[in-house]
Structure 1
């Protein structure tokens, strides 16, 4: 009859049947099994191990991504999204979130109908469907409006704050008149009689170059009040046309100093009240005055009369 060896026999534990030998034997067996398992894992490439572990996540995501891509390419996804958005906005509007009032602050010259057209909203429209950013861009396309700010004040009000451009002058160009601001933006060519005190700028490019000239004139009110128009000559320099027909020719460079010089001459000699037709300030430190024909004739007559008096005095 075969004989069965007890686990504690030396056949199973070559080192002997002692607690220390059994522990050593179990430790070696555990280490061998771990090494065998590691060798089996190393036999499989790492990318296959990664895919094996991630397959349960990657496969569903790939399916969902494919469905989304197909829906986007076919347009059905966008249509479904639009339908959901429309249904949502309809529910909010029926719940009271709809435009009932538009409040506008800062509007003086801008036409109200233009503002409403730029906002593109009607009474009863879903207020959550209103796009403030797109409406702001449309408002700033209106010439009078420099900037705009729009707020949705739930549940039913749009609040609009406008900053309008400031008119600087009337621009005469190609026999037409238009209102312009300091940046040269054309504001309007209607109702110009509402701005009777604005100076007139004449010539190509006059609005953009006129800002510095008008600033220089503003620093000398006695000259500014007499100016009817400023003509840009050759896109380089200005001629001032004063009330009464007097023309003042300013230099190309440092015309501000010439304006101050003219104001000083008016204060000391009342030059603008004399019978002259032109004052030339184009040459620094030099003043050229052109008298009117009447003044020249009067001067010639005075000289002739003086000569007669001298001749009569010699005879006597």
Structure 2
């Protein structure tokens, strides 16, 4: 009877090694599965949700990588240029400019800024940069730039309000309520506005407005305000009378209010007094033009009259003595006889 003998089978050692490896793999799988199961139990997501998150991260990374490669190749710039060309061909470019809210300032200055954007396509128009350029204009307090498709650019302007005139180095400049300079003006255009002078007066405009609000009845009468020594105000009224106020915000406001009450009772404005000095808290000093000369002339006249009276008295005494001498001589002669 024939017997078949197979060769190449596993030996005892190889079989033992394979069995040991299999046991290790099984144990590792069990341990890894237990670890993953533990992690999954702690994560507040289901397995499906976690799968979606991982897929989203993978796709997002791929998109970022693709964008980086495209940027390095210049594709976004090319796409932007093609989009702009397409918009220009379809009429989406700046052809008209509409300016709103301009009443006092020169409107041409706005057009000079905006016309630099003319014939540019709407998608590439830098609205924020144009607004910043408009804010550099002295009269513009705020501005809003908007597109009105397909071809119109609309500019809404909020102007500054002229509040006073600053006199400096022989020139007149319009300023607003914050002291911001607007433009140079002639004396004719400055007529009727409050004129400020003195070093640093433009920075004190808000304080001056607050001061004049303390006496609203006097405010229309104030023609000029001079900032003296960076510490106090001299007010000149339309009657050309000058009021010197003390230092300090509260002290000057109290003095101005006191002056307003005195003027309401005694009509100081329009009178003979040329200047009022209220720098002292106890009293007010008033200066009347020519009064010192008048007092000097009166004193001189009184002194002259007294001298003339004394001279006349002396002359009368001498005349009396002279007239009495012949009479005495006649009497003495008669006595001798």
TM-score by length of 1: 0.70
In the TM superposition, residue 222 of structure 1 has moved relative to its aligned partner by 4.4
Cα offsets for 1:203-236 (capped at 9, x unmatched): 1210121222234325535433332211111111
How far is the alpha carbon of 1:179 from its aligned partner?
Answer: 1.0
Sort the Cα spacing of 1:60 and 1:161 in 2 relative to 1 into closer, same or farther, 3 A.
closer
CA distance in 2, matches of 1:103, 1:188: 24
In structure 2, the partner of 1:36 is: 25
2: CA distance between counterparts of 1:276 and 1:201?
Answer: 23
Please show how residues 1-316 of structure 1 align to structure 2 within 5 Å.
33=22, 35-36=24-25, 67=69, 71=72, 77=74, 81-190=76-185, 193-253=188-248, 254=250, 255-292=252-289, 294-298=290-294
What is the CA deviation profile of residues 255-279 of structure 1, one whole-angstrom value per residue up to 9, with x for unaligned ones?
Answer: 1111111111111111223222221
Check whether the contact 2:173–2:184 (CA below 8 A) recurs between aligned residues. Answer: yes
2:140–2:157 CA contact under 8 A, matched in 1: yes
Contact in 1 for aligned 2:199/2:230 (Cα 8 Å): yes
Q: Secondary structure at the match of 2:261?
A: helix
Deviation at 1:65, TM superposition (A): 8.2
User: Offset of 1:96 from its aligned partner?
Assistant: 2.1
Secondary structure of the residue aligned to 1:115 is helix
- Report Cα offsets for 1:99-132 as digits up to 9, x if no partner: 2322222112232222123235455431222111
Matches of 2:132 and 2:140, distance apart in 1:
11
| Superposed CA RMSD | 4.0
8 Å CA contact 1:105, 1:160 repeated in 2: yes
Give per-residue Cα distances to partners, 1:136-186, cap 9 Å, x unaligned: 111101111111111112222222211111112111122222111122211
Alpha-carbon distance change, 96 to 65 in structure 1, aligned in 2, over 3 angstroms: closer
What secondary structure does 1:240 align onto? strand
1:176 and 1:31, CA in 2 relative to 1: closer, same or farther beyond 3 A? farther
What's the TM-score, normalizing by structure 2?
0.66
Relative to total residues, which structure has the larger helix share, 1 or 2?
Answer: 2
Question: Does the CA contact (< 8 Å) of 2:215 and 2:260 recur in 1?
Answer: yes
Distance in 2, matches of 1:61 and 1:90, equals 27
Residues 177-205 of structure 1, C-alpha deviation per residue, up to 9 Å, x if partnerless?
Answer: 21111222111114563342211110121
Using the TM superposition, name which of 113-122 and 264-273 deviates more.
113-122
Aligned length: 267
Gaps of 5+ in 2: 6-17, 32-57, 310-337
Instruction: Specify the alignment match of 2:35 in structure 1.
Output: none
| Ranges in structure 1 where 5+ consecutive residues have no aligned partner | 5-28, 43-55
Q: Distance in 2 between matches of 1:36 and 1:204?
A: 92
